[in-house]
Structure formats: C-alpha cells, structure tokens
Amino acid sequence: MSTQQDPALCAGVELGGTKCVCVLGTGPADVRAEVRLETGAPTRTLKDIEEVLSQWRARHAFRALGIASFGPADLEPDSPTYGSLIGTPKPGWDNVAVLRTFTPLGVPIGFQTDVNAAALAEGLWGGAIGLASYAYVTVGTGVGVGAVVEGRGLRGLGHPEAGHMRVPRKAGDDWPGACPFHGDCVEGLVSGPAIRARTGREAAELPPDHPAWDTVVHALGAFFHNLTLSTVPQRILIGGGVIAGQSQLLPRIRAALLTSLNGYAQARAISQPGREFLASPRLGERAGSLGAIALAQRALRADG
C-alpha cells in the first residue's frame, strides 16, 4: 500500500461491536480529539456519533470522513445497499444504512470494514510498512480478517469473513460453540462472547492456565494454518481484546501454527529466528480508528 499521507484534517469513526471511537486528526502523530461511545441500539448510537461529528464539522471544518464499521457490510459502491450492514449477527443492526446517516455532513466519505481499515492503517503507519501482502486479524467481540494481497485489499463476492471458517476441533472438545450462524466456527470458539458462554467469565478475567485457553490456542493455530496457505501473507498481525488481555497467548499460538504446518511449505521461513510472522499490531488498539482517518484521506484524494 502507498505510504503517502494527506495532511488535510479528517474525521474518522471506528464503529465496533461494543464501542465506537470518533477521532479527529491527520495520522498517528496528530490526533486532535477523540470521543468514545458505547455501541447500543443503532438509532441512538448513530445519533450520538452524528452529534460529535456535527460539532467537529462546525468548529474545525474537517474535510473528509472515514467510517470503519463492524460487518458484514456492503462495500460495493454500485449497490443500492452500499454502506449498510448485511447479515450482521449483532442484534438490531442488520440492514442498517450506516453510510447514509452521515451524508448530510457534506464531505467525501470512505467506508470499509473495521478490520480492512485497520489493515490499511498498519500498512501506512504500523507493523506492515513495506509489505505487499499481509493480514490483520482481530479477536474480540468477533473474529475479523483484513487481507491485503499484492498491495490491494482482498475483495470479490463481498469481503473476507475468514473468522467464520471451520477448523478441526481439539480432541475431546464437544462444546457446540457460540456463533449464531455456524456454532463452532473459529469465531464461535475463540471470540470474547464465545469464551464467556463457555466459561461464564470474561476473557480478561481468566487466569493464564485456564483450560479454555487450550481450545482457543488450538483453534487459532489451525485458523492461521489455513490463512497462511491460502492468502500467503508475509506477516499476520493479530489484535483485539482477547489477545491483548492475555500476553501468554501469542507465543502459544505461534507454536500451535508451526505444529499444525508440520514443516510444510512456508513453515521453514516462518520459523526462522527473528522472523516476526505472527505479531502484535504496532498501532495497537488505535489501528481501527487510525484506519478510519486513512479511509477519509483516501476518499478526499479520490474526490479531488
């Protein structure tokens, strides 16, 4: 991805499954304002965001807006439902026209999924600078994947929803999973809601040696096996609240990935000393909101 930056003042909205982050700025070194809101019912949530943006527009005259939303979402500009959430499991949000809510602001708007936006930000300013092909994965309220292949975000019949892949279950584990669509897909096994449904506790509250982490590590090792062999990324950046809150997980997942690959194909390159193939995002939890700023900048350049 290009590393060109547009210095124009932009606004961004990271619309997440549990919280929203509104930001005003030009990039990581210039964030002038930030407001965090709870993601509740769509009408109330979008109205709260609109109020923040309207105030910023009046006071600071930002020139473009980026929206990085949870999905699935319609990303096809020619579609009559472009900018809407399509088939999302979040109650009340299916078919909500997110983009249309903000068109009265009268500025160019970029719209993408939150993980695709985070991948864009990591390519511009973070842990994927200089890489042509990489993936950004978040494990939190859901499991989202933003895949960049040869400098372009992966798209086709929609956007990647690899978090709903099915993987081999850990031997002896017959828990049905928590995904309302697929039960024991990756998201249904390792997301924050899945961990809470399985254990009765939040992921951040579980001790590092809790047996639930064994199933999480097993599922993610198999998941990254599939992602490595299908989109052949040069690096996979893995973030989200589940991973960020448990520092022991990343080394265990790396080991599980290599065990799963069993020496095949890219395994030798991945296992080289000092090779950061599976790594934390350099932008941390700011990747999504900074990705929204990057979307705004891209929309402004396209409009000009």
Q: State which amino acid sits at residue 173.
A: D
Q: Is 275 found in the same domain as 134?
A: yes
Pairing of strands 134-139, 236-239: parallel
Is residue 123 situated within a structural domain?
no
- The per-residue pLDDT for range 179-227, each reduced to its tens digit, is 999 999 999 999 999 999 999 999 999 999 999 999 999 999 999 999 9
276 token code pair:
């950061």
Residues 183 and 269 in one domain: yes
**Please, what sign has the CA dihedral across residues 161, 164, 166, 170?**
positive
Domain housing 244: 129-279
55 and 140 together in one domain: no
If asked whether residues 102 and 134 sit together in one domain, one would say no
Cα–Cα distance measured from residue 184 to residue 182, given in angstroms and rounded to the nearest whole number: 6
Which among 266, 265, 189, 245 is positioned nearest to 220, based on CA atoms? 189
Helix and strand counts by DSSP (H, E) for the chain: 10, 10
Distance (Å, whole) CA 64 – CA 299: 7
Q: What is the pLDDT of residue 304?
A: 66
For residue 43, the surrounding DSSP H or E stretch is helix 42-60
Low-confidence ranges of the chain (pLDDT < 50): 1-6
Stretch (H or E) spanning 121: helix 114-125
- Kindly give the residue spans of alpha helices, DSSP state H, lying in 126-201: 186-190, 192-199
In the chain, the number of structural domains is 2
Tell me, yes or no, whether 1 lies in a domain: no
Share of the chain above pLDDT 90, in %: 78
Q: What is the largest CA-CA distance in the chain?
A: 59
Residues 259, 162 share a domain: yes
Q: Are residues 96 and 208 in the same domain?
A: no
> Looking at the domain assignment, is residue 103 inside a domain?
yes
Same domain membership, residue 159 and residue 133: yes
pLDDT of residue 1: 40
Residue with tokens 């249904």: 188
Query: Is 84 contained in some domain?
Result: yes
In a shared domain, residues 184 and 199: yes
Same domain, 88 and 146: no
Let me know if residue 24 belongs to a domain. yes
**CATH number, domain at 70?**
3.30.420.40
Distance of CA 117 to the CA centre of its chain: 7
Residues 111, 133 within the same domain: no
DSSP 132-146: SSEEEEEESSSEEEE
Residue 5 lies in a domain: no
Tell me, yes or no, whether 224 and 102 share the same domain. no
Sign of CA dihedral 47, 52, 23, 140: negative
Indicate whether 124 belongs to any domain: no
Give the CA distances from residue 302 to residues 12, 78, 209, 296, in Å, rounded to whole numbers and listed in that order. 17, 16, 50, 10
- Same domain membership, residue 265 and residue 144: yes
What would the pLDDT profile of 169-183 be if each residue is shown by its tens digit? 999 999 999 999 999
Q: What is the pLDDT of residue 161?
A: 85
Would you state the pLDDT for residue 74? 93
Cβ neighbour number for residue 209 with a 10 Å cutoff = 8
